[in-house]
Structure 1
């Protein structure tokens, strides 16, 4: 029994410890329902091991990969050696960047930030956006505040407009960073409240900043053909396809417009108004409506 167990252990180790080089660019590939990793020539480096790989980013110049897996309703992020960088977080989705370890996280239409794979800003805000000096503007309802690069509250959530005054920040010898915040009244009066950040965070952009990003999940030729045939079927049934974005298709029908959801296999919304894809809103599809020169 000991010999059999040892052989089994060695075989398992061989499967899950494939030879991956430190600076090797690895892309996801799918075999059946499972995803693995291969190099740019198609050579398998990590055999298929997981379902639910939904996104990835390759970071030059060392080509380190971050691969997003959604499984059983939870999000994990692994590297190219399958090491878990973020383990089974209770999130709806994440948006990763090739320029930093900051990850925008989404849950129940709320937003936060994960930095270096730890919670930096809790997922409890209506909006979080990166702004100057490596700081973050956060919003709850109509009120905004500011958190700096150290996680310190610089501006409380009490204002409708946050900006930085050029005059105070143009001095290269000053190690402080200045902000100005305004409520609705002071905005129209041209007034505001000044805030001073701890320091200026200066960081030069790396040489590879403008390099093309590698970010997609590839499909096979048969999958692409099946998708095109599905589009033709949808057009024959409902009308002309105007645009396609992720899982949503906007169709110009005989009367008005409709939105077809691929995952539901049906029209989920109709309108006499013209419908255009607008933008993703924290994981939700948002559409622009047009009629008689008006928008909604």
Structure 2
């Protein structure tokens, strides 16, 4: 771990909180141009390494988070930039929130000493085309009403460095979003019980904090992929009461056959 900055962890580590940062044997083997290769003698993308961003903002508020990078590519490569962007954005937001509260509450002795940002990423998939990461962070800001659980994701095209959306996985014009909403609703109901989710019969909708399970792409903006399933994540209060946390759903690709674009990023997982 490297303090007060962004540093390199030479071997896969565990994000703060104990969750494993890697799923399975994640090695790409993609050959890239000499300009992108960190070592000109070995222009291949290897495995995932977890980097650590650790430091202080404000007076004493601390952040200690991990994010994935691909071994073999320069830090400035578009792929590695895309993989650390979700974490750096949350660090910036954490710093803004700490600074705002320090300005608003100077006489109350709020110095940010108990403010922390922790967490990290889990890489669900890496092959010669794509890398998929999901980020779980926990922000505790001294003076804020409650801790904030933050989820994010990045599905990155290794050839271009472009961050892909969930809609890029499916056939244009297909009822994929309606199908995903139905399947996600069934999975969540099996996890938490009928009538718990916002918008279902008997539920309390007074605390709705997000789009719920409305069949729109933005509902499923936080997602990952593995070779076997589409992984969906939801923000706290998005689909139900805060006690649900940040729920996760896995939908097997076999359930989405006919909807996934066979020529798209997930095409090799179906059929």
Q: Same fold (TM over 0.5)?
A: no
Q: Name the structure with the higher strand share.
A: 1
* Structure with the larger RCO, 1 or 2 (CA within 8 Å, 6+ apart): 2
- TM class by shorter chain equals under 0.3
Q: Which has the larger radius of gyration?
A: 1
